[in-house]
Amino acid sequence: RIVAMNSMSVRNQTTTTAPATSAAGSGADMIFTFAAPSEVFYNQSKNVKQIDVPSMSGNMGILAHHVPILGVLKPGVVAVIENDGTTKRYFVSSGSIAVHQDSSVQLLAEEAILVENLDTKAAQDTLSDSQRKLQSAKDEREKAEAQIEIECAEAAIKASQ
Amino acid sequence: MSLLKALTLLQPKQIVWHGGSTRDMATLKDISRRLKSVKSIQKITKSMKMVSAAKYAKAERELRAARSYGLGAKSFYDNIELDKTADTTTNKHVLIAATSDRGLCGAANSSIVKNIRTQLNDTKTNLEATKIIALGDKSRAMLSRTHANNLLLSVNEIGKRSVVFGDASAIAQTVLSTGFEFDTAEIVYNKFKSAIAYTTSRQLVLSGDTINRSKNIGVYDSLDSEVLRSFQEYNLASVLYYTMKENAASEQSSRMTAMDNATKNAGELINKLTTYYNRTRQSVITTELIEIISGAAALEQKA
C-alpha cells in the first residue's frame, strides 16, 4: 500500500484552487456523502463547504467544483467544514475518496469515529501490542500487517490528543 | 423425520371421508401419531418465524446504515460508463451468486440461482468465458449439479452471523486472487424492498483493466495505477458488503413469510385432522356398540 510519491503534485493542507472543470454544474454545491459500513455521517449533504482528507498522496483539501479525483485514504483525521463554519473532525482508519464530475463526493471509510470519542489509552495499548507483534512477526505478510496496525494506532493517538 | 419431508405434510390434503360402514383407511393410532407430529412441526415453524423476525429487524437496521455507504460505492461504477462498443464475446465475465447456507427461506435463494441459470442456458452466452463464484452453500449445491465446470470458487459460513466488512473484504481478496482474470463481474443478489417484497438484481463490477480502458477514467486527475488498484479493490469489497447486506435482509424477511405460511398451513391441517380423528373415534365406538348390542339381541332371541 506504499505509494511512491513521485512528481505528481502533492496537495497540502491549504486549499487547492483547482480549476473548475467546464462540465461543472451551474454553481452546484458539493454533494457530500461520508459513510462507514455501519454508520452514516453525511448522506448527499449539500451543507458542506470543504473537507480535508488524509490520502496516500498527501493531505488534500476539497471544495465544490474540485477536479474529479479518486484516492485512497491512510489513517488520519478528516475535517469536515460545514457551510455555517462548524468543523467536525473524524478519525478514519482507511478507505477511499471519489470526486466526480457532477461535484458529488463520496468519502467511504472502513472505520470512522469522531475524535472526541477516541480513547487514547486504548490506542496506546494497541500500539504496544502491534509493536510486539512486529517483533515476533515470522514472514513478510505478518510484518506488513503489524506495520499497518502500528501506523493506524499512532495516527489514532495523535488524533486523540 | 427430516423437517423438509415433514413439511410436505403441511400441504392441506383432501381428507377422504368414508361412510361409517367401511373400515377407515387409517386407524386411530395412525391419525393421532400424525396429529402429534404436525403439532410439533407447527411449534417449530412458529419459533423459526420469531427467530427470523428478530434477525430481520437487526438486518434491516444494519442495512439502513449500510445503504448510504453502498450507494456511494456503487456510484463509482455508475460514473465510469463502460465502453459499450467493447467486444462482448471475448469478455471474461464472473457471476457472483450471493445466497446463504441455510434454506427454508422461500424463493430467496432459488430466485438467484434461476436468474443465473437462464443466463448460462442462453445460447448467446460464451460458457468458456463465464465463471461462477458461489457465496453460500445453497447456490453451490444448486449450480454444481448442472454447471460444475463453471464453478470457480465457493464460500460458506454465510447466513449464520450478520455480515461485517471484514468478511466482505476477505471475500473480495479471494475473488481477486483466483487467477481468473475477469473483465467484468456481476453480483446477483436480492435487493430488499420491504418486509414482503424483494427483487433479484444485479450489480456490475469492473476489473482494474476495464476501468483503465473506459473513456471516463481520463477525467480523474493524476491517477496512478497503484492508487487505482487500491481504490478498485476497496470498492469491490464495499460493493460486496452492500449487496450481501441487502441479500441478508431479503433472506430473513422471506424466511419470516415462509415460516408464517407454514405455521398457518399446519394449523389448518391440525384442524382437519382433529375433526377426522374425532369422527373416526366416534365411528369406532358406534361400531363396538352395534356389535355388543346385536350380540346381546341375538342371545336374547335365543332365550
> Could you say which of A71, A96, A101 has the minimum Cβ distance to residue B219?
A101
What SS3 state is found at B238?
A: helix
Looking at the structure, tell me whether residues A39 and A112 fall in a common domain.
yes
pLDDT digits (tens, 9 = 90+) for B49-85: 999 999 999 999 999 989 989 998 888 888 877 665 5
Average pLDDT for A21-48? 76
Residue B62 is predicted with a pLDDT of 92
In a domain, A12, yes or no: no
A27 touches chain B (CB under 8 A): no
A16 touches chain B (CB under 8 A): no
A86: containing domain: 30-117
Looking at the structure, tell me whether residues B73 and B204 fall in a common domain.
yes
Looking at the structure, tell me whether residues A108 and A49 fall in a common domain.
yes
pLDDT digits (tens, 9 = 90+) for A92-114: 988 999 988 888 899 999 989 88
Looking at the structure, tell me whether residues A75 and A57 fall in a common domain.
yes
Q: What percent of chain A has pLDDT over 90?
A: 19
Looking at the structure, tell me whether residues A54 and A80 fall in a common domain.
yes
pTM: 0.82
Residue B205 sits in a domain of what CATH number?
3.40.1380.10
Residue B65 is predicted with a pLDDT of 87
What is the band of A16 on the pLDDT scale with cuts at 50, 70, 90? very low
- How many CB pairs below 8 Å do chains A and B form together? 90
What is the band of B48 on the pLDDT scale with cuts at 50, 70, 90? very high
CB contact under 8 A, A98 and B66: no
Q: Count the domains in chain B.
A: 2
Residue numbers in B near A69 (CB within 8 A): 220-223
pLDDT digits (tens, 9 = 90+) for B105-159: 889 999 999 999 998 888 777 888 889 999 999 999 999 998 888 898 899 888 8
Looking at the structure, tell me whether residues B98 and B111 fall in a common domain.
yes
Separation between Cα atoms, residue B260 and residue B144, nearest integer Å: 31
Q: Residue length, chain A?
A: 161
Looking at the structure, tell me whether residues A72 and A125 fall in a common domain.
no
Which tops the pLDDT comparison, A105 or B9? Answer: A105
Query: CA-CA distances (angstroms) from residue B111 to B93, B101, B122, B241, B245?
Result: 20, 15, 17, 20, 17
In a domain, A14, yes or no: no
Looking at the structure, tell me whether residues A124 and A110 fall in a common domain.
no
What is the band of B95 on the pLDDT scale with cuts at 50, 70, 90? very high
Nearest-CA residue of chain A relative to B241? A37
Mutate one of B227, B240, B242 to test the A interface: name it (highest A CB count within 10 A).
Answer: B227
Q: Count the domains in chain A.
A: 2
What is the band of B23 on the pLDDT scale with cuts at 50, 70, 90? low
Please give the mean pLDDT across all residues of chain A: 79
What is the band of B96 on the pLDDT scale with cuts at 50, 70, 90? very high
Mutate one of B69, B71, B169, B216 to test the A interface: name it (highest A CB count within 10 A).
Answer: B69
In a domain, A42, yes or no: yes
Looking at the structure, tell me whether residues A104 and A150 fall in a common domain.
no
Residue numbers in B near A57 (CB within 8 A): 227
Average pLDDT for B245-271? 95
Looking at the structure, tell me whether residues B152 and B267 fall in a common domain.
no
Q: What percent of chain B has pLDDT over 70?
A: 88
Separation between Cα atoms, residue B116 and residue A151, nearest integer Å: 43
Q: What percent of chain B has pLDDT over 90?
A: 55
Residue A18 is predicted with a pLDDT of 40
What SS3 state is found at A60?
A: strand
Residue numbers in B near A106 (CB within 8 A): 72-73, 75-76
Question: At residue B47, does pLDDT exceed 50?
Answer: yes
Mutate one of A8, A108, A145 to test the B interface: name it (highest B CB count within 10 A).
Answer: A108
Residue A66 sits in a domain of what CATH number?
2.60.15.10
Residue A65 is predicted with a pLDDT of 85
Looking at the structure, tell me whether residues A40 and A106 fall in a common domain.
yes
Residue A127 is predicted with a pLDDT of 87
Residue B248 is predicted with a pLDDT of 94
In a domain, B60, yes or no: no
Residue numbers in A near B79 (CB within 8 A): 98, 100-101
CB contact under 8 A, A108 and B238: yes
In a domain, A2, yes or no: no
Looking at the structure, tell me whether residues B298 and B187 fall in a common domain.
no
Looking at the structure, tell me whether residues B168 and B222 fall in a common domain.
yes
Residue B10 sits in a domain of what CATH number?
1.10.287.80
Looking at the structure, tell me whether residues A112 and A124 fall in a common domain.
no
Residue B212 is predicted with a pLDDT of 79
Looking at the structure, tell me whether residues A97 and A44 fall in a common domain.
yes
Mutate one of B63, B162, B167, B219 to test the A interface: name it (highest A CB count within 10 A).
Answer: B219
Residue B15 is predicted with a pLDDT of 55
In a domain, B87, yes or no: yes
Looking at the structure, tell me whether residues A136 and A153 fall in a common domain.
yes
Q: Please count the helices (runs of H) and the strands (runs of E) in chain B.
A: 7, 5
Question: At residue B90, does pLDDT exceed 50?
Answer: yes
Residue numbers in A near B231 (CB within 8 A): 70-72, 96, 98
Angle of helix B108-121 relative to helix B225-302, nearest 10 degrees?
Answer: 120
B205: containing domain: 66-255
Looking at the structure, tell me whether residues B21 and B76 fall in a common domain.
no
Residue A101 is predicted with a pLDDT of 84
Cell, residue B70:
453502498
Residue B50 is predicted with a pLDDT of 96
Looking at the structure, tell me whether residues A137 and A72 fall in a common domain.
no
Interface of A with B in 114-133 (CB under 8 A): none
